[in-house]
């Protein structure tokens, strides 16, 4: 079976995981964007305040990922 590849001209690079936690004053850090491990599915995701992003981190920055979409890294490592 041959897989069709998609050329994504809008691939993103995301911020390092400590961008916000390392730079904001301590009083704002509990509401700042931070990376958390989703233990149910085994991927990292951005969490902002009490909410969270609907997709894993890997889908927001797939530049250079060797497999076609929807494959994506499960986290920063």
* pTM to 2 decimal places: 0.66
Give the pLDDT confidence of 41-65 residue by residue, as tens digits. Answer: 888 888 888 876 666 787 777 777 8
Tell me if residue 45 falls in helix, strand or coil. strand
Tokens of 5: 């590849």
Residue 32 has pLDDT above 70, yes or no: yes
SS3 content of the chain, % helix, strand, coil (to 5): 15, 20, 70
The whole-angstrom distance between residue 41's C-alpha and the CA centroid of its chain comes to 14
Looking from the CA of 65 toward its CB, the CA atoms found within 13 Å total 25
pLDDT of the residue at 25: 93
């Amino acid at each position: 079976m041959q897989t069709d590849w998609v050329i994504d001209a809008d691939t993103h690079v995301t911020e390092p995981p400590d961008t916000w936690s390392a730079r904001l004053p301590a009083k704002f850090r509990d509401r700042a964007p931070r990376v958390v491990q989703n233990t149910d599915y085994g991927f990292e995701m951005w969490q902002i305040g009490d909410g969270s992003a609907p997709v894993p981190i890997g889908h927001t920055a797939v530049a250079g990922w060797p497999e076609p979409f929807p494959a994506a890294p499960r986290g920063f490592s």
